[in-house]
Structure 1
Amino acid sequence: MYISHIQISNFRSFDENVNIDFNEGINVIIGHNNAGKSNLLKALGLIFNYSSHKSLTIDDFNKYIEPTRLKEQPPKIEISATIKESKNEEEYSDDLATIGGCLTKIDSPYEAKLTYEFFLPEKEVENYKKIMSVISGQDADLYWKAIDDNFIRKYIYKIYCGNPDYKIEVDNEVLRKFDFQFLDAIRDVERDLCTGKNVLLKEVLDFFMDYDIKNDSQKNKDEKISEISSKKKDFSSQAENLIEQLKSRMKSGKDQMLKYANETGASFDKSVLDFDGSILDTQLYSALQLIVKYETNIKIPICNNGLGYNNLIFISLLLAKMQKDASGEYLGSNAKVFPILVIEEPEAHLHPAMQYKFLKFLRENNGRNARQVFITTHSPNITAAVELDEIIVLNSNNHKLNVGYPGKVFDISNSDDKKSKSYIRRFLDVTKSDMLFAKGIILVEGIAEQLLVPVFAKYLDINLEDHHISVINAEGRYFQHYLKLFNTKIEGAIDKKVVCITDLDPERKCKTDKKPKFKKCYPFELDIDKEKYDYKNSSNSFIKEFEEEKSKGEISNNIKYFTQTEGKGKTLEYEIILSNPNCENIITDSISNAGKLKELLKDFNENKSLNNMLDKLSKSDEDERIREGIENSLWDHDDERKKHLIAAKYLNSVGKGENAIELSDILENNLNDNQGFHFEPPKYIKEAIEWMIK
């Protein structure tokens, strides 16, 4: 069996009927702060953590219930967990027997249900309505205060099995069979590790003592008991020798020490004080302590270890304890049937490499110690290390929770979806997985946009980090793969705003070539020689496909693309000059022909003629092409031709990555300079950023 689904109503950050599906093995729950990750673990614990405190307070209610509803009916918290049959159910013979009384579906795969309710008893409801009726207005705080003052102490909880409408309370023995081990983000594991005096370590030691015998499949139960009893007897005999040695060493000192008892009258009726004792093997557990032993044979106490390593050691002991607690041979009918491991923010104490190794261990050992694992995290390292199908994304917007399942949005029977899922799985590295945590995403084609877009936003007096917006480099025009994760027309998609910033890159194809192919061209070359060339205003097929799909209602409104003006735009670098033809400061040190570009910018600022500027071009093939294109352009205005002349030269002179780094530094420094130069972000990027924060 496994927990396949949870439905939560009116609990903390969850409003009515929030539904979340789980995987049979590992579940990695991610999302921005206050999305509800910790509250989800708490909700699971209210049902499955037998030892947890189950009564709640006024602050455990979702406070966004309408005052009119509070007036009519006392609020109730309801958490319902669905348990389904596992794929490998035959390996776990006790599952069905444990959950049999909670079944809601008998046919295979069976389903069962456990429901936690925190509610005001029916006999108190009439009085509740009477007190609420005298409160007027829409101030919700007044109603909650009245509930807290008059009724919260009267609330009770129940856990029902099967259909909750029948109100059949679950047998405590059923709940005891679930082993819910929870490690919260703020934990002190050192106090639980140092010596065998600790309960956890003592339990584990006791289970694994004589493990070679206990785990010997060649011996029957009676043989194992007999052999272990023999070892215990041998230990007791050796312990008696130790006690006798102590007694002999105390022989002369004992008389001196105990004479005071005789002199004070503590001994009477011919009684004499003496020493005696025995040592059981279990009593010596407290003498054992965990140590770290190095190759050089140096030993240090575990308490001197780093916090991250101690957390891993503690988790390993916890898994060992879960193995012990699930052993029917060791505990008989007291054994646990369904061990659940719940870890909150493992990255709190583990560096990235350890996070990855830990996740790998959990996956490889899934089912051996913990049948189901729930992990909440803010770490892109962990997200990048797990499979898409194991990720659950919580995204809260205006107090409404959207639950996304990145693995479910791809229909692998469809070849395109199968390709997209494979692409995302391969390229969802630490930087790209950040998009699953952000509240908004700007997808860009390359490193230049990734570096410059956040700086451009600051020129609009917008800090993308403050709005939790991530700029993700798709490393080319691969937006279609990413967008499937966020297209809410697809079930399981993540509902957050996404923009794609893309280049037009116009093209032309020479009709007289033996094998005609479209090649990139400048905007000013478009349509100037239709007899010789075929033209494309944009080589970006994504734009056309996107618009077609959106017009058919196949793409949701939370996704939008932005690009340059058709017929005038080309790339980001090209657009930077078109938006800033007066700005010499953007000519960075890494740009080739920097001197020539500054001359052209100066000529533009001084309103020199187009011919004057064309004369500055060299005799290279590319410059001759630019000259010819500008002279034959269909555009009427020389100012526009001059801007495109500079933009073409700039585009051919920059190295994408290096220039973007230098330019971002120049623009950042300029923001801090009260006498700085004016810079205008490209229009299409400005529009994309403003739409994101609208």
Structure 2
Amino acid sequence: MYLSELNLYNFRRFSGSYKNKQPGLVVHFHKGLNIIIGENDSGKTAIIDAIRLMLGDVSDDFQRITDDDFHATKSGLDENTFQIEGIFCDLSEREAGIFLDWLSFDKKGNYELRISLSVEKKKNDNDQVYLDHKIVAGESSSSMPLSASARSFLKVTYLKPLRNANDELTPGFRSHLPKMLMAHSTFSKDNQSKSELERIMKSANLEIENFFDGDANVSDQSSHASLNTELSKVLSQLYDQQDQSKSKVSLKLPEATLSQILNQLSLNPDSRNLGLGNMNLLFIATELALLDDHLTHTVYGPNLMLVEELEAHLHVQAQIRLIKYIEKYIESHQSKASMQFILTSHSVSLTASVDQKLLIYLHDGQAYPMGPSYTMLKEEDYRFLNRFLDATKANLFFAKGLIFVEGYAENILLPVLADLIGYSLHENGISIVNVGGRSFDNYVKLFSRKNGSIPINLPISIVRDSDVRPYTYRINQNNIDGIRELLTSNDFNKNRMGNTYSTFNQLQKSLKLKFSNENFSKISQIAYQLLDGDELATSQGKKAEKLENAYHDLNVKQQVFVSPAWTLEYSLLKSPLGDLLLQSIADAKFNLKADAENKKREFIATSQSGDLIQIYSQFEHSDVSKAETAQFLAEKLYNLDEEKRNKLKVAVLGNSYCAYLVDAIKFACGRDEDD
């Protein structure tokens, strides 16, 4: 069996109505490993604490309910009740027998166990407030109190976020070690082990007492006198004759119970002076060992382990090793017992290292499982994401808005452009995800929802190049005469005359032109034509419409923003950023070459009166990097003085070639309706 669903009503930040069966939060879990992710204060800890309150934990740690556990309404008043409901499914016949009195059935007729914890604030006759707890199981119409025996099968193993693991493993009131040891089968099930440890302590206590008595059986007893005798001698002189019996004393350890013995233990590694991260790993290992022991003796129940903030004080590689160990651990035990781990995390490295199906994404007060039953992704799409989703892209799960871009140039420029127009991306919690090409589909589908379920209220801007070139290669009535005389055969596909091609090679293959090698350059020059204004506008409009409608059928909050001309760089060359971009191209082209400054000036002077297509060709036919050019441009924008910056801001906001970038930034920031 495993916990398949958790419903919260008026618990902490989540509202809801238990009477009307309208939870404030519904979380769907699956077997095995579940990883809850989301930005701070999204409710990850509330989910973990709710499960612990409802089921209890193996170590019997005390969990106190406070006023903060009751949902606060918009008016600031606290609710008087909260409810936590858990639904367990996939029960074995033996588990069904254990919970027979409380069983119900799902829509498919399978066994189901519903458990509900309700907490209500009440007042007694002295007007004192107290909390009334009730744990029941079964259908709400026929639920009954859940027995302590049945509850014992549901207890979870809990690994809390660590701030100082040393306190948890050394003697003291904060130590968690005694509770873990008491829960281990060595002491929880084996009375002989308890007695043996107590016998060892009694034996040790007798030797200590003999030592202070100066007993002859103690080695080297001549080196010290009997401290008990000396103390008694002094005390005898302080009492009168009738109270001499009170002067008899002895130094010895107090009688110790098992709990007192365990409270004195510490867990010490052989290596000394370990840092906080290594001590945390040691603590985690003790909890996993306790769970392993639990599975050795108990194979019924959900066998659930809760891990909060796995990455706390662990470096990236340690996080990944630990999560891979947990995955292998689940696999190795699945034949013996059902295993379920529920983890919380805000580590992008950990998120990127696991199968995306395992994630449960918390956003805007809702929980969104990322498994195939809930998203529009197919099996091969998950394989793609698991291969290519790295830590730089995994930050998409911790943002308030996303901007998907094709390459490094947009990734570098958009944050600086956003600052220029007054929409700082980091202040608005916006993440840019460079998909490294045009493979947007899988990233968008990850956030789309199946079966008309509640969409993820996360604005996603998709920035695309139209890739509509302002020129084409074609043969028509304007150039056919010049081309025909260069061909070695007039037998070519005349039915395709007038068609446009992005390269001359495409035209040659399509029309099956035959010519000598020395005429290749001449024919390609004659076939090259600039598109007129109407043609370009029509092609651009068709391509933009196609890209903008690509994801209309998906249940996701997205909008596609298409460059108004060819590519990002070509559009910017036509914009108020054109001069700065031209300087940046010169920087990237000549920065490391001899006489760089003179070559830059000559290139800029020549280009300013030249064709934009020729300038853009620096990216396609030379060693000029788009990413490096973008870096130079970003630096120039960043270093503008206030006057130039304000002037450029006004120009950019009013320019049609920059509008698609400005609108993409605004949409991701949730300001798409701004002027």
| TM-score exceeds 0.5 | yes
Q: Which residue of 2 aligns with 1:478?
A: 439
Q: For residue 570 of structure 1, give the secondary structure of its aligned residue in structure 2.
A: coil
Q: Which residue of 1 aligns with 2:112?
A: 111
The match for 1:23 among 18, 30, 41 is 30
Moved more, 265-274 or 376-385: 265-274
Q: Note if 1:503 corresponds to 2:465.
A: yes
Q: For residue 589 of structure 2, give the secondary structure of its aligned residue in structure 1.
A: coil
Structure 2 runs not aligned, ≥5 long: 17-22, 216-220, 469-500, 513-523, 591-595, 653-657
Residue deviations 1:600-628 (CA, integer Å, cap 9, x gap): 755787xxxxxxx45xxxxxxxxxxxxxx
Closer/same/farther in 2, CA of residues 209 and 276 from structure 1, 3 Å limit: farther
Q: Note if 1:77 corresponds to 2:82.
A: yes
**Considering only aligned residues, what root-mean-square deviation do their CA atoms show, in Å?**
4.8
Q: For residue 395 of structure 2, give the secondary structure of its aligned residue in structure 1.
A: helix
Closer/same/farther in 2, CA of residues 264 and 538 from structure 1, 3 Å limit: same
Q: Which residue of 1 aligns with 2:661?
A: 685
Pairwise CA distance, 1:165: 2.8
The match for 1:312 among 281, 287, 290 is 281
Pairwise CA distance, 1:586: 3.5
Q: Which residue of 1 aligns with 2:387?
A: 426
Tell me the percent identity: 23
Provide the rounded CA distance (Å) in 2 between the counterparts of 1:197 and 1:555: 54
Pairwise CA distance, 1:509: 4.8
The code of the aligned residue for 2:439 comes to Y
The match for 2:306 among 324, 339, 342 is 342
Provide the rounded CA distance (Å) in 2 between the counterparts of 1:55 and 1:188: 24
Closer/same/farther in 2, CA of residues 56 and 421 from structure 1, 3 Å limit: same
Q: Which residue of 2 aligns with 1:573?
A: 569
Residue deviations 1:401-430 (CA, integer Å, cap 9, x gap): 353425444567xxxx22211111111211
Closer/same/farther in 2, CA of residues 599 and 15 from structure 1, 3 Å limit: farther
Residue deviations 1:427-480 (CA, integer Å, cap 9, x gap): 121111111111111111111111111111112111011111111010111001
Q: Which residue of 2 aligns with 1:137?
A: none
Q: For residue 330 of structure 2, give the secondary structure of its aligned residue in structure 1.
A: coil
Provide the rounded CA distance (Å) in 2 between the counterparts of 1:43 and 1:226: 37
User: Where in structure 2 are the equivalents of 1:121-136 lying within 5 Å?
Assistant: none
Pairwise CA distance, 1:269: 9.1
Structure 1 runs not aligned, ≥5 long: 125-149, 215-220, 295-299, 330-334, 529-533, 606-612, 615-641
Provide the rounded CA distance (Å) in 2 between the counterparts of 1:180 and 1:53: 13
Q: For residue 104 of structure 1, give the secondary structure of its aligned residue in structure 2.
A: strand
Check conservation: 2:6, 2:87, Cα contact below 8 A. Answer: yes
Moved more, 35-44 or 47-56: 47-56
The code of the aligned residue for 2:235 comes to A
Q: For residue 666 of structure 2, give the secondary structure of its aligned residue in structure 1.
A: helix
Q: Note if 1:563 corresponds to 2:581.
A: no
Pairwise CA distance, 1:60: 1.8
Provide the rounded CA distance (Å) in 2 between the counterparts of 1:378 and 1:443: 21
Provide the rounded CA distance (Å) in 2 between the counterparts of 1:557 and 1:226: 61
Q: Which residue of 1 aligns with 2:71?
A: 61
Pairwise CA distance, 1:39: 2.0
The match for 2:321 among 350, 357, 361 is 357
Q: For residue 634 of structure 2, give the secondary structure of its aligned residue in structure 1.
A: helix
Q: For residue 449 of structure 1, give the secondary structure of its aligned residue in structure 2.
A: helix
Check conservation: 1:31, 1:37, Cα contact below 8 A. Answer: yes
The code of the aligned residue for 2:569 comes to E
Moved more, 176-185 or 233-242: 233-242
Pairwise CA distance, 1:337: 5.2
Closer/same/farther in 2, CA of residues 100 and 574 from structure 1, 3 Å limit: same
User: Where in structure 2 are the equivalents of 1:208-219 lying within 5 Å?
Assistant: none
Q: Which residue of 2 aligns with 1:513?
A: 508
Provide the rounded CA distance (Å) in 2 between the counterparts of 1:424 and 1:411: 13
Pairwise CA distance, 1:587: 4.2
Closer/same/farther in 2, CA of residues 12 and 204 from structure 1, 3 Å limit: closer
Check conservation: 1:389, 1:408, Cα contact below 8 A. Answer: no
User: Where in structure 2 are the equivalents of 1:604-643 lying within 5 Å?
Assistant: 613=609, 642-643=611-612
Check conservation: 2:330, 2:339, Cα contact below 8 A. Answer: yes
Q: Which residue of 1 aligns with 2:640?
A: 670
Check conservation: 2:373, 2:450, Cα contact below 8 A. Answer: no
Provide the rounded CA distance (Å) in 1 between the counterparts of 2:122 and 2:182: 46
User: Where in structure 2 are the equivalents of 1:653-664 lying within 5 Å?
Assistant: 654-664=624-634
Check conservation: 2:561, 2:664, Cα contact below 8 A. Answer: yes
The code of the aligned residue for 1:353 comes to Q
Check conservation: 1:3, 1:22, Cα contact below 8 A. Answer: yes
Moved more, 314-323 or 586-595: 586-595
Check conservation: 1:526, 1:535, Cα contact below 8 A. Answer: no
Provide the rounded CA distance (Å) in 2 between the counterparts of 1:434 and 1:470: 7
User: Where in structure 2 are the equivalents of 1:29-428 lying within 5 Å?
Assistant: 29-49=36-56, 52-53=62-63, 57=67, 60-64=70-74, 76-85=81-90, 89=92, 93=94, 95-105=95-105, 109-119=110-120, 153=129, 156-185=132-161, 187-195=163-171, 200-202=176-178, 244=210, 247-248=214-215, 249=221, 252-265=226-239, 273=248, 275=250, 289-294=266-271, 300=272, 304-323=273-292, 338-366=302-330, 371-396=339-364, 401=366, 403-409=368-374, 417-428=378-389
Q: Which residue of 2 aligns with 1:589?
A: 587
Closer/same/farther in 2, CA of residues 209 and 436 from structure 1, 3 Å limit: closer
Pairwise CA distance, 1:206: 7.2
The code of the aligned residue for 1:192 comes to E
Moved more, 55-64 or 276-285: 276-285
Closer/same/farther in 2, CA of residues 502 and 255 from structure 1, 3 Å limit: same
Check conservation: 2:89, 2:112, Cα contact below 8 A. Answer: yes
Pairwise CA distance, 1:501: 0.9
Provide the rounded CA distance (Å) in 2 between the counterparts of 1:156 and 1:281: 33
Q: For residue 27 of structure 2, give the secondary structure of its aligned residue in structure 1.
A: strand
Moved more, 168-177 or 423-432: 168-177
Pairwise CA distance, 1:209: 10
Closer/same/farther in 2, CA of residues 671 and 182 from structure 1, 3 Å limit: farther
Q: For residue 248 of structure 2, give the secondary structure of its aligned residue in structure 1.
A: coil
Pairwise CA distance, 1:185: 3.7
Provide the rounded CA distance (Å) in 1 between the counterparts of 2:136 and 2:194: 43
Closer/same/farther in 2, CA of residues 595 and 482 from structure 1, 3 Å limit: farther
Q: Which residue of 2 aligns with 1:635?
A: none
Check conservation: 1:487, 1:495, Cα contact below 8 A. Answer: no
Q: For residue 82 of structure 1, give the secondary structure of its aligned residue in structure 2.
A: strand
Check conservation: 1:443, 1:474, Cα contact below 8 A. Answer: yes
Q: For residue 590 of structure 1, give the secondary structure of its aligned residue in structure 2.
A: helix
The code of the aligned residue for 2:508 comes to D
Closer/same/farther in 2, CA of residues 516 and 425 from structure 1, 3 Å limit: farther
Q: Note if 1:438 corresponds to 2:399.
A: yes
Provide the rounded CA distance (Å) in 2 between the counterparts of 1:429 and 1:267: 85
Q: Which residue of 1 aligns with 2:6?
A: 6
Q: Which residue of 2 aligns with 1:217?
A: none
Check conservation: 2:309, 2:343, Cα contact below 8 A. Answer: yes
Residue deviations 1:85-136 (CA, integer Å, cap 9, x gap): 25xx48xx5x334433321118874111011223478999xxxxxxxxxxxx
The code of the aligned residue for 2:408 comes to I
Pairwise CA distance, 1:360: 1.6
Check conservation: 1:26, 1:374, Cα contact below 8 A. Answer: yes
Closer/same/farther in 2, CA of residues 350 and 164 from structure 1, 3 Å limit: same
Q: Which residue of 1 aligns with 2:481?
A: none
The code of the aligned residue for 2:368 comes to V
Q: For residue 462 of structure 1, give the secondary structure of its aligned residue in structure 2.
A: coil
Pairwise CA distance, 1:231: 9.9
Closer/same/farther in 2, CA of residues 236 and 480 from structure 1, 3 Å limit: same
Check conservation: 1:432, 1:472, Cα contact below 8 A. Answer: yes
Provide the rounded CA distance (Å) in 2 between the counterparts of 1:663 and 1:449: 11
Provide the rounded CA distance (Å) in 1 between the counterparts of 2:366 and 2:375: 22
Check conservation: 1:36, 1:394, Cα contact below 8 A. Answer: yes
Q: For residue 484 of structure 1, give the secondary structure of its aligned residue in structure 2.
A: helix
Pairwise CA distance, 1:322: 4.1
